[in-house]
């Protein structure tokens, strides 16, 4: 416990001495307010900007493939037929397993960025084969559930090597990676249950 002191100015007045934030004020009985660490807010903003950049990039890859991929009518018919056949036999384990595999491969450092980009390109080709319109894509709720998860994997493929090699913060890298995997798995599982139920009218595991 600190003892307050008085600093005389003249005969009767008392003054105070300014002290750095977070240091006990020995002139007054109260402590000064803690320092504000602006680097935490900056770091969170930087992560959000990087993630949104990854998300935007994947959307661009998807729509470029959807509108510009060279695909013949025969190829379009084959792709559309395969997708229709898989939809008729869709189960939760199949849909979840396929989506989780994509997300998990996307987390692989650096290489995952290439894998996720190729998968998004192929997805755009598949939508083109089914003559999907822009409105049909943006109105599909599962598109906006799965793509953000893939973008999270894309982000972690950059973020984890950065934390380990640049910052040498191995604990944060592991925690961030595990949290992303668990969050992605939970969201993709719920999405798979809803998707199968909408396609087949019941939940088949």
Between CA 201 and CA 194 the distance in angstroms is 10
Rounded to a whole number of angstroms, the CA Rg of the chain reads 27
Chunked mean pLDDT (size 10), the chain, 205 residues? 47 47 49 51 84 96 92 85 82 90 91 94 92 89 92 94 87 92 94 86 68
The pLDDT value given to residue 112: 93
The per-residue pLDDT for 85 is 83
What are 82's two structure tokens? 């395969």
Q: What pLDDT sits at residue 35?
A: 52
**Distance between CA atoms of 25 and 34, rounded to whole angstroms?**
12
pLDDT at 29: 46
Q: What pLDDT is attached to residue 188?
A: 94
């Amino acid at each position: 416990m600190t003892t307050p002191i008085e600093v005389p100015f003249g005969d009767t007045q008392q003054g105070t001495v300014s002290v750095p934030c977070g240091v006990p004020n020995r002139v007054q009985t109260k402590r000064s307010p803690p320092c504000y660490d602006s680097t935490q807010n900056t770091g969170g903003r930087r992560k959000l900007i990087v993630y949104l950049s990854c998300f935007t990039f994947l959307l661009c890859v998807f729509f470029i493939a959807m509108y510009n991929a060279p695909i013949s009518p025969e190829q379009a018919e084959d792709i559309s037929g395969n997708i229709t056949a898989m939809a008729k036999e869709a189960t939760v384990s199949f849909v979840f397993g396929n989506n989780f595999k994509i997300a998990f491969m996307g987390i692989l450092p650096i290489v995952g960025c290439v894998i996720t980009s190729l998968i998004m390109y192929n997805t755009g080709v598949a939508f083109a084969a089914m003559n999907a319109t822009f409105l049909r894509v943006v109105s599909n709720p599962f598109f906006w559930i799965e793509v953000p998860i893939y973008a999270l994997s894309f982000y972690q493929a950059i973020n984890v090597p950065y934390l380990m090699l640049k910052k040498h913060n191995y604990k944060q890298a592991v925690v961030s990676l595990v949290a992303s995997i668990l969050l992605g798995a939970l969201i993709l599982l719920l999405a798979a249950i809803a998707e199968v139920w909408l396609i087949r009218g019941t939940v088949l595991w």
